[in-house]
Structures are given as structure tokens and as C-alpha cells.
Structure 1
Amino acid sequence: MRMPPLKLHRWSRAEYDRLIARGAFDPDDRIELLDGLMVAKEPQGSWHAATVSHVHGVLQRAFGRAYHVRANAPIAL
């Protein structure tokens, strides 16, 4: 039996912010909005943290003060 395709709702940034403001998620929930879809964030272990730290330093040295390098910081686009 063939299943019909899933119908996904693409959330706007404003809708997502309203859900957060209304307490739809717990502070410990690891959820992010990517291209309108709510996605569970993957846990980050020590290998990931060390790699991000290393790459952050490499990019800062490569670009100097001309650019601001952010690592693991939330950003709303």
C-alpha cells in the first residue's frame, strides 16, 4: 500500500517566536528552526566542541579583525 506524501508546515520566524513566548518548549528542548522546519538539534560531544574551538581560532587568525567569527551562538536570519 502506497502512503501519501507527508504534508509539512513551514513555520515563519514570527510563528516560531510566538511558540517560544507562549512556553510551547521547555528551556532544555533542543529545537531549532531550519528553512521553516522545526528540527531536533543533535547532541554535541567533546570531539565536536574541540573541533569547533579549533576551527574558530583558525578562522579568527585567517580573517583578523576584518570579520567577526561566531561559534555556536544563536542567530536569527
Structure 2
Amino acid sequence: MTPERVAQVRALNDVAAARGQTLVQLALAWVLRWPQVTSALIGASRPEQITDAAGALNAPPLTDAELEAIEAILRGTPA
């Protein structure tokens, strides 16, 4: 894991926290926003992980600003 990747994960975690979500919930919301995606597989090994992941269903849709921030982080060019 490179320092750059760690910085990206931390920045994404900040976006999630600003939404009142965990990083897992943000990731699921990001993946499930596409109409062609009908399901997302999670690799849960503990019941708490399933509960955490299910919390993504209760969040409002990602805003355009949030999506832009996420894309910028993934490109490595945070605004």
C-alpha cells in the first residue's frame, strides 16, 4: 500500500464521514448509483459487517458535488 493510496482512502473516508456514513457504505452507494448495477456482493465475515453495509440503503443519493469529490480523489487530484 503506497502513501498515495493511503491518502486516497483517508480522503474518501472524510467524504463518507461528512455524509454520516462509513467508508463501506459510501463505496456501496457509489457502486449502486448506476442503474445497470442490480446488486453488489459484499465479503462479510461477521454479522456486524452486513449491518454496516445495509446502512448504505438508508443514505440519500450522492450529490453531484460528492461525486465530483470522489472522482477527483480517485484520479489523484483532490479539489
TM-score by length of 2: 0.28
Name which one, 1 or 2, has greater alpha-carbon Rg: 1
Greater RCO (CA < 8 Å, at least 6 residues apart): 2
